């Protein structure tokens, strides 16, 4: 994904995290249980973390290997969709079976972070300055 596409995606993820978070804080708190609201807030938090992470890494992705630079954002975006998305559905609609998808999203986050670590580990020190 080109740099502009990643920045737009990060901005959309951040924007929707704020909108969804406000919806939860102002609308859902009177509708769903406290436990469900906590689950919802975790989903918003992880979406926001990864929106900010995408913004932070996009300018430096050109310094790491191309396959890593391509797959880190893909795993993070997939993680947001699977992890946060499943938690949104679980907390709002009580679709309990969807909870089996949540760990898959968590694993996608972990793979993205591990790949990023690997990618930066391979970059010579003089290229990081």
Note the pLDDT tens digit of each residue in 81-102. 999 999 999 999 998 899 999 9
More confident residue, 98 or 1: 98
Whole-number pLDDT of residue 114: 97
Whole-number pLDDT of residue 89: 96
Which residues, 6+ apart, have CB-to-CB distance to 110 below 8 Å? Answer: none
Whole-number pLDDT of residue 123: 75
Contacts 24+ apart (CB under 8 A), 104-110: 105/78, 105/79, 105/80, 105/81, 106/79, 108/75, 108/76, 108/78, 108/79, 108/82, 108/83, 109/46, 109/50, 109/75, 109/76, 109/79, 109/83
Query: In 92-107, which positions are buried (b, 16+ CB within 10 angstroms) versus exposed (e)?
Result: beeeeebeebbeebee
Whole-number pLDDT of residue 42: 98
Q: How confident is the model at residue 29 (pLDDT cuts 50, 70, 90)?
A: confident
Structural domain count of the chain: 1
Calculate mean pLDDT across residues 11-36. 95
Range of the domain at 44: 3-128
Calculate mean pLDDT across residues 22-47. 95
């Amino acid at each position: 994904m080109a740099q502009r596409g990643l920045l737009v995606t990060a901005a959309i993820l951040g924007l929707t995290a704020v909108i969804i978070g406000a919806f939860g804080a102002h609308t859902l708190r009177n509708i769903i249980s406290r436990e469900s609201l906590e689950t919802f807030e975790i989903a918003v938090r992880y979406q926001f973390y990864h929106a900010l992470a995408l913004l932070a890494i996009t300018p430096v992705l050109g310094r790491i290997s191309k396959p890593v630079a391509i797959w880190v954002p893909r795993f993070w975006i997939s993680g947001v969709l699977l992890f946060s998305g499943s938690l949104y559905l679980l907390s709002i609609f009580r679709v309990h079976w969807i909870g089996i998808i949540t760990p898959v999203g968590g694993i996608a986050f972990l793979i993205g972070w591990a790949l990023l670590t690997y990618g930066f580990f391979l970059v010579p020190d003089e290229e990081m300055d």
